[in-house]
Amino acid sequence: MSSSKPHVPPVDPDTLYTIPIADRPRHGPLFSKVFFPLAFNLGILGINAVQFCALPLLLLPVVGRGMFEAVIDWTKDSFGRLLILITVLFAPTSLHLTTDSPSLASNLVERDAHGRMTRINLPDRLVIMANHQCYTDWMYMWILACYAGHAEGLTILLKWSLRHVPFVGWGMRFFRFIFLRRSWAADRTNLTKALTRLGKDALSSDESTRHALTSASGSTLGKGEDASLLPQVSDTGRSPLWLLIFPEGTITSDEERAKSVKYANKEGIDDLAVALHPRSTGLLFCLRTLLPQVPDLQLLDVTIGYPGVPLGKYPQYYYGLGSVFFNSVPPPTVHMHLRLHSDLSSIPSLNTPPTSKDDASALAVDSSSQDLATPQEARAFELWLRGVWQEKDERLKRFIQDQKFEGEVSVVRIRQTKWYHWAAAFGAGGVGGVIVAGQALTRIISRSSKSTERRVRLGI
């Protein structure tokens, strides 16, 4: 008797995203398998080259550090453009944005005469908290920052182990991202220093911008006229501050679900169906440390949803980084629901920020004044955040059922908005610099080798 393999029905490529990665065909487009690692690694190499080449700027007195940090901030935007590049070429998708915040809904997406997105209007001073379902989350958030024009000010809280990853980890350290060990005793000092620096940079930027405005507009104000008639600094290109936090601490999985259930049992509450219970300590500390130094700081709550994932399953098993880019099976759409908390004083345990510039400057110098919350304050904030996450979980359950968030949808196709962003994705001249340096090094080695051979022949 002859044995035959069971017939496997063909899979529609357009519905591959609805099948778990483990059950999909192993092969993917040859184009993606060959050119994705080439493009991504060349981009990383170019951006790293720019960062390392900028190090000598630190030797310049007075202006050196500022120039160095300006270069590093530019490479943050460059890396975001690299993420857009690999998405366009190997994992095309679009952002579907919804919001229930009136201040955002009126003009969330700007478009040109052809209907193409030119900018996403979001505030320049934000702490962003989002649910965390798979490793593509931070990539799409970075792209969102690029479209908002604030990628240069993006700071992400990351696992400590990522700082040691070659090239990518080096770049993140240059970016001055905040690496955490997920132990408050170990993280508090590092987090305090990093947040104090962010607050000082924001305060310094505000003062410099306001001074420039006063100097430029002083002649137009008569004696006794109010300086508040000057344009607001938020309209003048001041340095952005975007701090991205995933309060759940990690992506959803069976292991993390068990921890979430354990916490729910301890608290005597029901576990969440889709999200994980958030950790509140780090988020509260970030807000309490930054708010006195950045009085106009706002909190953006982002809920991320991926289509095709059934209730009880995990997006990471459908949209792993390898599957998305090597096999070119991206989410057909990435859904983001945005809710903006503009008045942080209405959130429990967040005090009203100082109203004068002198008070804010004093707090920026004395970081010890930003200490841990009292147990009562911490508990109040924990319960508030729990309520936010319970509402987020209900929103995610409705998303799984309807495959969309409620509200009017603004569709943003991920693409480069300017032609020169394609070059920026490779660190502009970074790749060229590496090539030239490599050629020069090769010539030096070749000449040295020939010189050695000549000396050997001559017996010198």
My answer on whether 280 and 427 are in the same domain is no
Asked if residue 329 is part of any domain, the answer here is yes
Spatial separation of the C-alpha atoms in residues 360 and 366, rounded to whole Å: 10
Check residue 450 and give its pLDDT: 60
Asked if residue 459 is part of any domain, the answer here is no
Check residue 166 and give its pLDDT: 78
My answer on whether 387 and 315 are in the same domain is yes
Check residue 232 and give its pLDDT: 39
My answer on whether 54 and 132 are in the same domain is no
Which residues make beta-bridge pairs with 304? 336
CA contacts within 13 A on the Cβ side of 247? 29
My answer on whether 247 and 377 are in the same domain is yes
Spatial separation of the C-alpha atoms in residues 51 and 352, rounded to whole Å: 39
My answer on whether 302 and 191 are in the same domain is yes
My answer on whether 86 and 96 are in the same domain is no
| Strands 154-159 and 125-130, bridge-based pairing | unpaired
Asked if residue 114 is part of any domain, the answer here is yes
- Counting other chains too, the contacts that 140-143 makes at CB distance below 8 Å and 24 or more residues apart are 140/95, 140/304, 140/334, 140/336, 141/244, 141/302, 142/79, 142/80, 142/83, 143/80, 143/83, 143/84, 143/87, 143/95, 143/414
Could you list the beta-strand ranges (E) of 188-287. 241-245
If one counts every other C-beta atom within 10 angstroms of the C-beta of residue 451, the result is: 10
- Residue 251, domain CATH: 3.40.1130
My answer on whether 148 and 194 are in the same domain is yes
Are the CB atoms for 338 and 301 separated by under 8 Å?
A: yes
My answer on whether 198 and 275 are in the same domain is yes
* Residue-by-residue pLDDT tens, the chain, 460 positions: 455 545 545 667 788 999 999 999 887 899 999 999 999 999 999 998 999 999 999 999 988 898 999 999 999 999 999 999 999 999 999 999 999 999 999 899 999 999 999 999 999 999 999 999 999 999 999 999 999 999 999 999 888 877 888 778 888 889 999 888 777 777 888 888 899 999 888 877 766 655 554 554 454 444 444 433 333 344 446 889 999 999 998 899 999 999 999 999 999 999 999 999 999 999 999 999 999 999 999 999 999 999 999 999 999 999 999 999 999 999 999 999 999 999 999 999 997 444 444 554 444 444 444 456 888 999 999 999 999 999 999 999 999 999 999 999 999 999 999 999 999 998 864 544 445 445 555 655 666 666 666 666 666 6
Spatial separation of the C-alpha atoms in residues 207 and 195, rounded to whole Å: 18
- Counting other chains too, the contacts that 154-163 makes at CB distance below 8 Å and 24 or more residues apart are 154/76, 154/80, 154/240, 154/242, 154/244, 155/194, 155/198, 155/241, 155/242, 155/243, 155/244, 156/243, 156/244, 157/243, 157/244, 157/245, 157/246, 157/282
Nearest to 129 by CA among 277, 246, 230: 246
Check residue 298 and give its pLDDT: 97
Asked if residue 310 is part of any domain, the answer here is yes
Asked if residue 325 is part of any domain, the answer here is yes
Check residue 165 and give its pLDDT: 80
My answer on whether 316 and 245 are in the same domain is yes
My answer on whether 102 and 85 are in the same domain is no
Q: Where are the alpha helices (DSSP H) in 54-183?
A: 64-90, 102-105, 137-148, 168-174
Please name the residue that has the structure tokens 């005090």.
351
Residue 361: which H helix or E strand, with range? helix 357-365
My answer on whether 39 and 168 are in the same domain is no
Check residue 452 and give its pLDDT: 66
Nearest to 316 by CA among 267, 395, 264, 250: 250
Q: What are phi and psi of 411, to 5 degrees?
A: -90, 125
Spatial separation of the C-alpha atoms in residues 245 and 343, rounded to whole Å: 19
Vertex 57 angle, CA 54 and 62, to 5°? 150
Q: Which domain holds residue 377?
A: 92-210+236-417
Check residue 361 and give its pLDDT: 47
Asked if residue 15 is part of any domain, the answer here is no
| Domains in the chain, number | 2
My answer on whether 201 and 324 are in the same domain is yes
